[in-house]
Amino acid sequence: MHSFELVKPATIQDAVAALKSDEAQALGGGQTLLPTMKARLAQAEQLVALSGVAEMHGICVDDDGRICIGGATTHATVAREASGYPALASLAGRIGDPAVRNRGTIGGSLANNDPSACYPAGVLASNATVVTNAREIDADDFFQGMFETALDEGEIITEVKFPVPEKAAYEKFLQPASRFPLVAVFVAKFSDGVRVAVTGASGDGVFRWSEAEAALSANFSPDAVKGLGDLDADDMISDLHGDGAYRAHLVSVMTARAVKAAV
């Protein structure tokens, strides 16, 4: 690892100020950034740790009944405390291993937008709102391709607000080495329709499966998915762990299982 300076601001304001420098980079839980730096694939003159920002920690419920999670809240905390949204708590409780869950944060995961990360599927399927120091961004606008988001340089995710669906579930099929999702699907049934978000499958990152959403909005049952046929294999990631056809098939299987599991 190249050497760097670490600053740990206590407020969002100070963090935003620190990130104005060209050499500075935000540090969430460090579960991606630090291994990348250790492998000397990334370097930064200054890391701005967000873990010291007290107002970015914790979970609450707002006046609209939304579950609001501070951007620096760890996966372990969400797993333990987001009882108002069991499917989301379950997703958080299955990310990585205990070490990852005790360090990794929701803001860090979303800002990184790894195409195989879990949280993007939960956020997109839930139609959550990503709150930053500057604005509020709809989930549909936030994810813009592999490792790409709507965030501007130096913009910090301070909070994520999740509307709680009537029913929801997250079904994950593990890549056997990394234990990231090979394919995972979050299904959320709201009163006005069903949202289906898929992670792990596409090189463009998390996406909504609109055909499945339409079918499930009409008939929320696993059978509704089975009639759809698989997605186009050419649009899926193909690698050592599974080709596009396999991933496309898994999207159907995991979607049907999520519907079945949704409570």
Nearest approach, Cβ of 191 to another protein (angstroms)?
A: 30
Residue identified by tokens 């089975």 is 226
Q: Between 177 and 263, whose beta carbon lies closer to another protein? A: 177
80 binds another protein (CB under 8 A): no
Q: Least distance from C-beta 259 to another protein, angstroms?
A: 14
Contact between 173 and 252 under an 8 Å Cβ cutoff? The reply is no
Give the nearest distance from C-beta 178 to another protein in angstroms. 4
**Nearer of residues 113 and 255 to another protein, judged by Cβ:** 255
Considering the complex, what minimum distance in angstroms separates the CB of residue 182 from another protein?
Answer: 8
Distance (Å) of CA 32 to CA 117, 200, 257: 11, 16, 29
- Looking at the Cβ atoms of 122 and 242, the one nearer to another protein is 242
Q: List, edge to edge, every strand of the sheet that includes 167-174.
A: 167-174, 181-190, 193-199, 207-208
CB of 245 to another protein, least distance (A): 8
Q: Does 104 bind another protein (CB under 8 A)?
A: no
Report the site for another protein in 157-216 (rule: CB under 8 A): 173, 176-178, 182
- List C-alpha distances in Å: 91 to 99, 110, 136: 16, 14, 23
Structure tokens at 40: 């000397």
Q: Output 39 or 263, the one with its CB closest to another protein.
A: 39
Cβ-based burial of 241 (10 A; exposed 0-12, middle 13-18, buried ≥19):
middle
**253 near another protein (CB under 8 A):** yes
Q: Which of 145, 241, 260, 261 binds another protein (CB under 8 A)?
A: 241
Q: Among 93, 243, 260, 261, indicate the residue that binds another protein (CB under 8 A).
A: 243
**Min separation Cβ 197 and another protein, Å:** 20
Residues contacting another protein: total by CB under 8 A: 18
- Is residue 241 left, alpha or beta, with left meaning phi > 0 and alpha meaning psi from -120 to 50? alpha
- Please report which residue ranges of the chain form alpha helices under DSSP H: 12-18, 33-38, 75-81, 86-93, 98-103, 106-112, 119-125, 139-142, 210-218, 222-226, 244-261
Q: Which residues bind another protein (CB under 8 A)?
A: 2, 39-40, 173, 176-178, 182, 239-243, 245-246, 249-250, 253
